[in-house]
Amino acid sequence: MNASQRTSAGSVAAAAFAVACAAASISGCGERAAPATPAPLAAALAPAAAPYPTALPKLYVDHNGTLAEYRLPLKAGAKPVAILKEDPGSAIAPQIAVNYLGSIAVATSAELRFFMPPIVSFEPKRATLILPFNGAITAVGDSGAELNDIEFDTVGNLWLVSNIGGEITELRKPLRKTSVASVFVLFGVKGTKTSAFTSVLQARFDVNNTLYAYAGGNNGDMLFKLAFPYGGEPSPTGLNLEQADYVDASQYLPTAPYPQSLILGQYVGPLHSPPPQQPPPPPVDVLSQFAEPLNPIHGLFPSIEVNQIVGALIADPPRLLFYTLDVNTGRLDVWPLPLGTGDEPRLSFPCFAGGANCKNKPEHLFLAP
């Protein structure tokens, strides 16, 4: 399922990247006036060092507005211990994200709702904070906010990926009723490396809090990266890689036999360079593993690929596993990490959502405490 087909390109909302309100608190910020040159954030806002790797006990599986909780490690025949509707009473699936403390954010077109564990219901009355959308938080159209993704970074700040204007905004903790965006990252800006990419589809973060954004445009899709403190222009990686997740060698346990730094994701493109004076090989759409650092000299091709299309992916380095959701069936698969030639899922679990909710629907995976 091609990402650019799933998301229409929004109009370009501004002509520069802006970083606003660089204080630790994000309340009381003014309008989104953009400086001529993006300003770096204060050094005091640098992300904390990554904690010692631990195997988190929960896996959350999101299928089209329904969230299931699994207890880890998964064993054959495992069933969800809880299944909840993310926006009770609504037929439209919201966006959802889980942070490193197990708190959950739910984004409808009208508002953000935040829930603290233990969570027994996503009814709005159980939310610890409700933050209505406005133009100081994210782009808002006639139908409210149109978000393609929301994602917590490694220190608990929430990032909103808008379908209006190719915009990513950050809500910095602590979140309050007066919170407004502290960082704006704009795609599709004329004269920048993102000028041909007018929609942003996903946001992900690595262990160093580097922001990776998967963006689409008339000429295809591409993964961009923007290193903390997010004061510069996003840099293209050269990869058409959706559902990307990043594994740093430091995230494995000391007992791991081959702690490799990797990028995992759904790759669209050729698998090798063409022979001299020959046309390029046809592109493929495959689940892929890339060894880091990437080597552009030899071509940005997967080191391992599997003939499968996934709608969500998350790595679990302490357990030497990663998890995927199949686009066509919603099946949850458990794969070895790192992936080897000829590897197949170690375990598979049928989609819990049933029927039409399992095929070509929004999906997400989260590990949580």
Q: What is the pLDDT of residues 197-232, one digit of tens each?
A: 999 999 999 999 999 999 999 889 999 999 988 988
Higher local confidence (pLDDT), 238 or 40: 238
What angle is formed at CA 201 by the lines to CA 9 and CA 153, rounded to 5 degrees? 140
Is position 267 within any domain?
yes
What is the band of 118 on the pLDDT scale with cuts at 50, 70, 90?
very high
**What is the model's pLDDT at position 6?**
42
Closest by CA to 287, choosing from 247, 326, 232, 238, is 326
Rounded to 5°, angle at Cα 94 from 104 and 314: 60
Of 26-35, 123-132, 133-142, 353-362, minimum mean pLDDT range: 26-35
- 263, part of any domain: yes
Residue 192: which CATH number?
2.120.10.30
Report if residue 363 sits inside a domain.
yes
Parent domain of 174: 3-26+48-368
| H or E element in which residue 5 lies | helix 3-6
In this structure, is residue 214 part of a structural domain? yes
Strands 58-63 and 211-217: unpaired
Give the sign of the dihedral formed by CA 325, CA 329, CA 335, CA 339.
Answer: negative
Name residue, tokens 């564990």.
Answer: 117
Q: What phi and psi, each to the nearest 5 degrees, are found at residue 224?
A: -115, 155
Looking at the domain assignment, is residue 37 inside a domain? no
pLDDT at 51: 54
* 35 assigned to some structural domain: no
Q: Are 221 and 193 in contact (CB under 8 A)?
A: no
Distance between CA atoms of residues 277 and 362, nearest Å: 42
Q: What is the pLDDT of residue 240?
A: 97
Is the torsion defined by CA of 227, 233, 238, 240 positive or negative?
positive
Asked if pLDDT for residue 284 goes beyond 50, the answer is yes
Of 115, 105, 98, the closest CA to residue 58 belongs to 98
When divided into structural domains, the chain yields a total of 1
Q: How far apart are the first and last CA of the chain?
A: 31
Contacts with 344 (C-beta within 8 Å, 6 or more apart), sequence order: none
Is the pLDDT assigned to residue 356 strictly greater than 90? no
- Determine, yes or no, domain membership for 38: no
Output the pTM of the full model: 0.86
Question: Does the residue 36 lie in any domain?
Answer: no
pLDDT of 369 strictly over 70: yes
For residue 199, what are the β-bridge partners?
Answer: 216
Pull the structure tokens for residue 189.
């800006």
Other Cβ atoms closer than 10 A to 72: 17
Report the percent of the chain where pLDDT is more than 90: 78
How many angstroms separate the CA atoms of 140 and 136, rounded?
Answer: 9
